[in-house]
Amino acid sequence: MSSRVITSLIGLPILIAVIFIGGHLLTAAVLLLTLIALHELFKGFRSIEIHAMEKLTAFTVLAIYLGYVFNLNPIFYLFVASLFVIMLMLINLFGKALHIYDISVTALGFLYVVLPFFHIVLVNQFDSLFFISLVFLLAWVSDTCAYFAGRFFGKHKLLPAVSPKKTVEGAVGGVLGTVILVTLFAAILEPGFIWYAVPLGLFGSISGQIGDLIASKIKRIMGIKDYGNLFPGHGGVLDRFDSIMMTAPIVFYVAYIYRLL
């Protein structure tokens, strides 16, 4: 049995249990994944001599999650983000000379990793197993449908310079399969959401596939195959959650509009 299959057999039940229990356990799990993903991203950039401020970003992440756990006023998050930028500038002014790339990658870590992962926690606020499941279902259904559609019908390369194996037919198959399965999922568990399922499946699949391509592009810039080896056969957190990071914000905002209306 391959390491990829073994990892899936072990990891999937753990993920389902964390999602089902939710609450602070899910928040803690997302925090841990965020910190690991940041480390993977910054470690990859260090291999090409770009040195982001990992400790500053990690402390910012901890502050944000503590604010969430203690239900602090939303203005607190603006304060933390502002302080992050101020500290970034002060370190550049009084500390060692930083290259513009170092500052840019530090900001990239916050925007590309921290904010998308935090949306998983925000989705959990709806206290609905349906919505939090959608975050993961969108990404994995899209990946699976795209894989099989590409394998059986793929002829035209999508972005060969970024990901040689992905095809236009696979991308279209991923979108169609996601729309169909998400609509069925909504019809069974949340019938009132069914009118939102089609646009969510459409944009969720597209964003998830874009997330996968972005992660591949960054790896090519770094000259690495995988971000890490936390999940044998799958790579690191960024390898396994690259699509989920993009679907989480979409699920949150669609769910927010659905609950609002």
Q: What is the mean pLDDT of residues 234-250?
A: 94
Predicted confidence at residue 92, as pLDDT, reads 77
Q: What is the mean pLDDT of residues 136-161?
A: 92
Lowest mean pLDDT among 23-37, 204-218, 225-239: 225-239
Predicted confidence at residue 127, as pLDDT, reads 84
Other CB atoms within 10 A of residue 3 CB:
12
Read out DSSP for 78-143? HHHHHHHHHHHHHHHHHSS---HHHHHHHHHIIIIIIHHHHHHHHHHTT--HHHHHHHHHHHHHHH
| Helical pair 100-108 and 23-46, crossing angle rounded to 10 deg | 160
Q: Is the pLDDT of residue 94 over 90?
A: no
Q: Where do the structural domains in the chain lie, given as residue ranges?
A: 3-260
Task: Provide the whole-model pTM.
Answer: 0.93
What average pLDDT does the chain have? 92
Residue 95: band (very low, low, confident or very high) from pLDDT cuts 50, 70, 90: low
- Which residue in 223, 224, 181, 222 sits closest to 202, CA to CA? 181
| Dihedral (CA of 171, 172, 178, 181) sign | negative
Share of the chain above pLDDT 90, in %: 79
